[in-house]
Amino acid sequence: MQAYDLPDNFGHFGQFGGTFVAETLIEALDELRDMYEKYKNDPEFLAEFNHDLKHFVGRPSPIYFAERLTKKIGGAKIYLKREDLNHTGAHKVNNTVGQALLAKKMGKPRVIAETGAGQHGVATATIAARLGLECVVYMGSEDVKRQSPNVYRMKLLGATVIPVESGSKTLKDALNEALRDWVTNVSNTFYIIGTVAGPHPYPMMVRDFNSVVGKECKVQMPELENKQPDVIVACVGGGSNAMGIFYPYIDDKSVKLVGVEAAGDGIETGKHAAPLTSNSPIGVLHGNRTYLMQNSEGQIIETHSVSAGLDYPGVGPEHSWLKDSGRASYVGITDKEALAAFHNLCLVEGIIPALETSHALAHAEKIAAKMSPDEVVLVNLSGRGDKDINTVADISGISI
Amino acid sequence: MSRIQATFKSLKNKKQKALVPFFTAGDPHPGKTVEIMNALVDSGADMIELGIPFSDPMADGPVIQRASERALKNSVGITTTIKLAAEFRKNNKMTPLILMGYANPIEAIGIDNFISLIKNADIDGVITVDYPPEESVQFVKKLKENNIDSIFLISPTTDDKRLKLIINQATGFLYYVSLKGVTGSANIDIKEVSEKVKNIKTFTDLPLGVGFGVRDAKTAKEVAEISDAVVIGSRIVQEIENSNDKDLINNIRNLMVEIKSSINKNSETSE
Ligand SMILES: Cc1ncc(COP(=O)(O)O)c(C=O)c1O
């Protein structure tokens, strides 16, 4: 059987992916692709990357057996890959460390990033401070209001946060604005994209940097259970934590891969952020072709999710490919279900998960209940929920 | 001969350069679009670029972003844009009309459907900002089969190898983006542009337009001296944004007349 080897040289995953950008950016993307090709197998670069993952991020992250949760659900064993224990509290930092090192190698003194919830912005500001790079973060003005602690965090780390007032003033608009900055400052600036979206080579590169998660699982899981998991569950915004844990398992067909999108108020209400689960049409946004929430005239429609990090109308092109090829399946979890799973994990395991992650947890609970006790469900616990306590308190009608 | 080719040929015979204004369909509201197009022609436009509103115009600066947002508030998307273009064409069989937009609206209504709609509307060319030549081979082929020109952008970062690739697919004319940046950015460095233009010209006989930083009559004149067409977008859209309904047409005319006369002064002196 042929090993999985996507994307092709032009960044295509079947009909998805590619490079859909204005001409001004092509040279920068070509340069990035060449430099990434050069460094991705370079022993010195990899040594630096792994050194920072170990000593700055705190890797490897453990896999933890959620024993009380398992007992409560009464089915398959539930294990958690603890990305919440990383420095800055989420998987996002794996990728920012890789890209920032690459920026440094390429001699770019300035990095920019887009952010929704602020997690990627914080991770970028963190590594920029660590490496002495100038850092500018674009954030929709709606999100600036909703996520003020993270805005202050970024400022403490020396980053400039620029509120974006265009369009829906959220993550997708922040990405547009970052692309505009990059077009303008392409000679001295490296754009650190926060998920497996954007034009080639970003979906591939972000996946590769995050795949440290899945690689560790492949070693850790047999140590704990003498086998690989039966099912892996991860939430999908753009899809970077999911690709990070899925990718090393793609050729191991005995492991089921399940991505969990934000169903918001429910897929049927139209108020969600689930392009795959809702069978949205294929479209082109932010440099790639993928399933995309849009109206019949191709205008991108507003998304809804309780978690800002999943509030994105598209999805990384590799997920579109994995869906069509049947290698992974995708489901939706509503705000309500995610919140229940959030509280559950707090109370039963003493872990406050991110609201994004809570979507994966909710689905894991559902399927584990129907599986047998000798089966294993592994959840990518993509981040910690400290950033979300204001949101959860608000919803619960509590002022803190 | 396509309308675009014919226009460039006739201008060349008169030793003149094309003035190509851009604005977004449906801005400030769809009732004004055809009236604005007619006023542009009356006041000196040799071709018109009509923008297709899009929710995520990543290559545009704030001025054209806001124009897109106003148009979308008026429910003007790709199909209405084509309808408005068709309405203009009913009474104007001369002026080349080019649609400029992003890939997603075109793909959303279907490439074949889009091409058949614009063919029926007698539209002459298409610029798709986020379709580089590598990703648009089929699209360009189909446009060619229907005698519709594919206009490609060339940027300051485009090297000679890509230049050849682009020229291979382009028809009608080439559009040189005069600066690294989004539409409506700072003024352009005319010397740098001049050198780039000279280089591009060594590869092709296609006419070459320059745009993305032309904000006044002086720059327009300088650009006209070194190219075949001056594209002016954000400055026109700004005029639309800043004018009330009553003065709108007059303000656009005045701006156009000023730019047109500076471009033509150039052609007289060079004779
Ligand atoms: C903890 C956490 N998980 C998941 C996501 C969603 O992103 P992705 O789908 O790229 O993993 C985010 C985004 O902010 C996040 O902060």
- pLDDT tens digits, one per residue of B97-117: 999 999 999 999 999 999 999
In the numeric block, which tokens belong to residue A90?
A: 């989420």
Q: What is the DSSP pairing of strand A376-381 with strand A231-235?
A: parallel
- Structural domain range at position B104: 3-270
Is the preceding peptide bond at A60 cis, omega within 30 degrees of 0? yes
Q: Is the pLDDT of residue A204 over 50?
A: yes
Q: Is the pLDDT of residue B270 over 70?
A: no
| Residues of chain A above pLDDT 70, percent | 100
**Residues of B183-192 as b/e, b for ≥16 C-beta within 10 angstroms?**
bbbeebebee
> Which residue, among A249, A273, A299, has the nearest Cα to A359 in the 3D structure?
A273
Residue A302 backbone dihedrals phi, psi, to 5 degrees = -75, 145
Query: Looking at beta carbons, which residues of chain B come within 8 Å of A185?
Result: 180
Average pLDDT, chain A: 97
In the numeric block, which tokens belong to residue B213?
A: 């930083």
Please report the pLDDT score of residue B186 as a whole number.
Answer: 73
User: How far off is chain A from B178, nearest CA to CA, in Å?
Assistant: 10
Check A300 against B155: CB less than 8 A apart: no
Burial class (CB in 10 A: 0-12, 13-18, 19+), A53: buried
Three-state secondary-structure class, residue A236: coil
User: Which residue is catalytic, options B27, B46, B49, B239?
Assistant: B49
> Which residue, among B269, B182, B179, B210, has the nearest Cα to B18 in the 3D structure?
B210
* Smallest CA–CA distance from B62 into chain A, residue: A166
Task: Give all strands of the β-sheet with A110-115 in edge-to-edge order.
Answer: A160-164, A134-140, A110-115, A189-191
User: Is any Cβ of chain A less than 8 angstroms from the Cβ of B58?
Assistant: yes
Q: Tell me the DSSP string of A286-326.
A: TEEEEE--B-TTSPBPPP--SSGGG--SS--HHHHHHHHHT
Is the Cβ–Cβ distance between A306 and A395 less than 8 Å? yes
Q: How confident is the model over A252-304, as pLDDT tens digits?
A: 999 999 999 999 999 999 999 999 999 999 999 999 999 999 999 999 999 99
CA A383 to chain centre: 10
Q: How confident is the model over A169-186, as pLDDT tens digits?
A: 989 999 999 999 998 998
Is the Cβ–Cβ distance between B228 and B209 less than 8 Å? yes
Task: Pick the more confident residue, B65 or A145.
Answer: B65
CA A214 to chain centre: 14
Cα angle A136, A137, A141 (rounded to 5 degrees) comes to 135
Residues A311-338: what's their mean pLDDT?
98
Q: Is the pLDDT of residue B258 over 70?
A: yes
Q: What is the rounded CA–CA span in Å between residue B99 and residue B151?
A: 10
Q: Is the pLDDT of residue A49 over 80?
A: yes
Nearest C-alpha to atom 12 of ligand 1 is from which residue?
A: A309
Helical (H) or strand (E) element with B255? helix B248-269
Q: How confident is the model over B68-99, as pLDDT tens digits?
A: 999 999 999 999 999 999 999 999 999 999 99
Please report the pLDDT score of residue B264 as a whole number.
Answer: 81
Burial class (CB in 10 A: 0-12, 13-18, 19+), A57: buried
Helical (H) or strand (E) element with A346? helix A335-349
Query: Looking at beta carbons, which residues of chain A come within 8 Å of B106?
Result: 298
Check A296 against B180: CB less than 8 A apart: no
CATH number at residue B130: 3.20.20.70
| Residues of chain B above pLDDT 70, percent | 97
**Residues of B138-161 as b/e, b for ≥16 C-beta within 10 angstroms?**
ebbebbeeeebbbbbbbbbbbeee
A145-159, A189-203, B17-31, B122-136: range with lowest mean pLDDT: A145-159
How does DSSP classify residue A116? S
Provide the 10 A C-beta neighbour count for residue B82: 21
pLDDT confidence of A1, banded at 50, 70, 90?
low
* Smallest CA–CA distance from B54 into chain A, residue: A299
User: How far off is chain A from B106, nearest CA to CA, in Å?
Assistant: 7
Check B69 against A292: CB less than 8 A apart: no
Q: What is the rounded CA–CA span in Å between residue A397 and residue A393?
A: 6
Q: How far is the CA of A386 from the centre of ligand 1 (A)?
A: 14
Q: How confident is the model over A223-248, as pLDDT tens digits?
A: 999 999 999 999 999 999 999 999 99
Please report the pLDDT score of residue B83 as a whole number.
Answer: 98
Q: What is the rounded CA–CA span in Å between residue A199 and residue A134?
A: 23
Please report the pLDDT score of residue A224 as a whole number.
Answer: 98
Residues with Cβ < 8 Å from A286, sequence gap 6 or more? Answer: A172, A175, A176, A179, A197, A198, A199, A314, B56, B58
Check A23 against B159: CB less than 8 A apart: no
Residues with Cβ < 8 Å from A263, sequence gap 6 or more? Answer: A272, A274, A277, A332, A333, A334, A335, A337
Check B155 against A22: CB less than 8 A apart: yes
Is the Cβ–Cβ distance between B51 and B63 less than 8 Å? no
Q: What is the rounded CA–CA span in Å between residue A157 and residue A175?
A: 21
User: E-assigned strands of A39-92?
Assistant: 63-65, 77-82
Query: Looking at beta carbons, which residues of chain B come within 8 Å of A200?
Result: none
Q: Is the pLDDT of residue A343 over 90?
A: yes
Check B59 against A283: CB less than 8 A apart: no
Please count the residue pairs, one from chain A and one from chain B, whose beta carbons lie less than 8 angstroms apart: 124
C-beta contacts of B237-243 below 8 A and 24+ residues apart: B237/B22, B237/B23, B237/B24, B237/B27, B237/B63, B237/B64, B237/B67, B237/B184, B238/B63, B238/B184, B240/B23, B240/B27, B240/B28, B240/B36, B240/B67, B241/B27, B241/B28, B241/B63, B241/B66, B241/B67
> Which residue, among A372, A197, A214, has the nearest Cα to A290 in the 3D structure?
A197
Q: Is the pLDDT of residue A387 over 70?
A: yes
Q: What is the rounded CA–CA span in Å between residue A291 and residue A303?
A: 14
Handedness of CA B254, B260, B262, B268 (dihedral sign): negative
Mutation target to probe the B interface, by most B beta carbons within 10 A, among A9, A177, A292, A297 is A297
pLDDT confidence of B15, banded at 50, 70, 90?
very high
To the question of pTM greater than 0.95 for the whole model, the response is yes
Residue B117 backbone dihedrals phi, psi, to 5 degrees = -65, -45
Cα angle A126, A128, A133 (rounded to 5 degrees) comes to 160
Number of domains, chain B: 1
Residue with tokens 């963190």: A126
Handedness of CA A160, A163, A164, A169 (dihedral sign): positive
Between the alpha carbon of residue A71 and those of residues A65, A331, A349, A369, B118, the distances in Å are 11, 24, 11, 10, 63
CA A110 to chain centre: 23
**Residues of A234-271 as b/e, b for ≥16 C-beta within 10 angstroms?**
bbbbbbbbbbbbbbbbbeeeebbbbbbbbbbeebeeeb
Is the Cβ–Cβ distance between A340 and A347 less than 8 Å? no
Query: Looking at beta carbons, which residues of chain B come within 8 Å of A172?
Result: 56
Q: What is the rounded CA–CA span in Å between residue A130 and residue A55?
A: 12
User: Is any Cβ of chain A less than 8 angstroms from the Cβ of B176?
Assistant: no
Q: Is the pLDDT of residue B269 over 80?
A: no
Mutation target to probe the A interface, by most A beta carbons within 10 A, among B58, B106, B113, B150 is B58
Burial class (CB in 10 A: 0-12, 13-18, 19+), A195: buried
